[in-house]
């Protein structure tokens, strides 16, 4: 299973280099002055992966609420914290977390529906840890 947050973190690094085709205007959305210069030392993905994820982000822009796209762009591309985004748009950090989780789920669903494999898959695959692997198992009790 892929870790959508790692995928979007790498896509954000790629998109911050002005590679994204998503037509997102932070000024029109009321975010004038929020955006700083993109960081250059961020992890990034290859162009092929970036374009695939960019397509999913474009679907998010077409189908979902604009607040979800704004939150994804501010968090993953421009590197603002969830608390800072909430402060700037005058809403709670909890609401920003909910909005970002909803958008992440939508993007993850798009990637699943496409059925494509990304070049970064080996690096962003979630490994089940021992606790969660054993949590679903029931203990067998022997009655004597």
pLDDT tens digits for 10-54? 999 998 886 665 655 554 445 544 555 444 578 888 889 999 999
Distance CA 21, CA 14 (A): 11
23 class by beta-carbon count within 10 Å (0-12 exposed, 13-18 middle, 19+ buried): exposed
Q: How do residues 113-140 score in pLDDT, each as one tens digit?
A: 999 999 998 888 877 664 455 455 555 5
Cα of 39 vs its chain's centroid, Å: 17
pLDDT surpassing 90 at residue 4 = yes
For the chain, the C-alpha Rg in angstroms (whole number) is 18
Distance CA 129, CA 137 (A): 14
């Amino acid at each position: 299973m892929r870790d959508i947050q790692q995928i979007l973190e790498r896509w954000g690094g790629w998109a911050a280099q002005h590679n994204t085709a998503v037509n997102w205007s932070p000024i029109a959305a009321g975010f004038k002055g929020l955006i700083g210069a993109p960081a250059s030392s961020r992890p990034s993905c290859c162009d092929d992966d970036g374009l695939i994820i960019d397509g999913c982000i474009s679907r998010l822009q077409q189908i979902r609420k604009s607040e979800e796209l704004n939150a994804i762009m501010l968090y993953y591309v421009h590197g603002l914290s969830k608390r800072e985004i909430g402060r700037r748009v005058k809403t709670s950090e909890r609401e920003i977390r909910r909005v970002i989780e909803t958008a992440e789920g939508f993007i993850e669903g798009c990637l699943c529906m496409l059925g494509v494999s990304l070049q970064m898959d080996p690096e962003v695959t979630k490994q089940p840890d021992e606790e969660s692997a054993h949590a679903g198992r029931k203990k067998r009790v022997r009655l004597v």
